[in-house]
Copies of this chain bind each other. A is one copy, B any other.
Amino acid sequence: MNPSRPVPLGFFVAAMLKPGSVGVVTPRSFRFDEPLALASGSSVSAYELRVETYGQLNADCSNAVLICHALNASHHVAGVAGDDPKDIGWWDNMVGPGKPVDTNRFFVVGVNNLGSCFGSTGPMSVSPATGRPYGASFPVVTVEDWVNAQARLADTLGIRRWAAVMGGSLGGMQALSWSIQYPERIAHCVAIASAPKLSAQNIAFNEVARTAIRSDPDFHGGDYYAKGVVPRSGLRVARMIGHITYLSGEDMAEKFGRALRGRELDAEYQFHYEVEFEVESYLRYQGDKFSEYFDANTYLLITRALDYFDPARGTGGDLVAALKPATAKFLLAAFTTDWRFPPERSREIVEALIATGRDVSYAEIDAPHGHDAFLLEDPRYHRVVRAYFDNIAEEVGV
């Protein structure tokens, strides 16, 4: 055997995906030609959304589940991308045949949000008005705007009412907003590791990340596309900051502690400013990787959508009043070591929902992995979601 000959990648994919994967998937783009009015008063004239679907929509279109993504994810929720066998969906452990969100029973929709950088219309796209990338001229969008765009997608797909809208973190905020904006179109709202609004500290971390991007000379005020550069340093720093907030201190201590990079714990220090500790190497790697695929304007846009999300703003800060229109049933889950959106934040939502008389389940899961726990395969967490979706399946009759 020629050692330089690549092993067919399908082999690795098969090994990496648990039994029950949706397999190779191909995204589709949906074009919307009617302008979308935005919360800011601005609008986008026409736009595309990149979408993946898994499973089959049933005859009465009652088994559809929308998965909303958080900051850096996309429509590619499950399975393996047709054009890159290493590109496995970000929630593949959650969505698939026999998985907690079972694609043998549900028709699952993953959508890349407006303003993101994975195929949907965003700052990288060419503006029809100028023939050049939108760049800094792409409008600020909000969680509510995303939900409006997703509702149009639902219309196109023939889905009048979602069996469930589900997401973690910022994705959970979209699910929550669905329950307020379109109460009649969502039967169940599943919001994991989420919050009713950002805290001052949350906004502060976002602002530092944005400052890092904006102050990168390659940012050019957001119009870097034409210059053939990318504000890579800024993105790197932004991602490193974000990454620290996704992990718990305990988790970092467990994973890295004070281990030296590539050397014994008791080796002599090297006394330099290059990588000395394992955790530095890890962070640099995460930052580098991210800066190669993520768009800086999208980072600004999505963190700003996070900052602005505050459904109780229209009701004088009263979350109970804000949730009054909701008719869905709710599942919320939070993780004990999540210090970005700690359980207290989910409990605020739970308590407001109880006060409005809504049907709400809440799981507080003792998991060591911080905010990132919502992406990981914790058996107790997955058991909760599975049980909840089993009930939905029964309701829907699938």
Contact = CB atoms under 8 A, between A and B. Distances in A.
Given A198-B258, A237-B215, A279 B244 contact: no
A304 interface: yes
A140 B271 CA distance: 6
B215 A233 contact: yes
Interface string A275-292: 011011001100100000
Contact of A40 (B199, B271, B284): B271
A316 interface: yes
Contact of A244 (B208, B253, B272, B307): B208
A205 interface: yes
Contacts of A203: 258, 277, 279-280
A217 B203 CA distance: 27
Interface string A67-88: 0000000000000000000000
A265 B197 CA distance: 14
A309 B249 CA distance: 19
Given A273-B214, A313-B266, A201 B280 contact: no
A310 B266 contact: no
Interface residues of A, number: 58
A361 interface: no
Contacts of A277: 200, 203, 207, 307
A252 B247 CA distance: 21
A201 B253 contact: yes
A273 B304 contact: yes
A280 B202 CA distance: 11
A64 B266 CA distance: 37
Contacts of A210: 273
A204 interface: yes
Interface in A95-112: none
A75 B139 CA distance: 49
A313 B208 CA distance: 34
Contacts of A201: 244, 247, 249, 252-253
A273 B141 CA distance: 11
Nearest to A239: B208
A236 interface: yes
A11 interface: no
A141 to B, nearest CB: 9
Nearest to A280: B207
B307 A253 contact: no
B207 A272 contact: no
Contact of A211 (B140, B237, B304): B237
5 contacts: A140-B272, A204-B279, A204-B280, A215-B236, A215-B237
Pairs of residues from A and B, 3 with the lowest C-beta to C-beta distance, nearest first: A40-B271, A215-B233, A200-B252
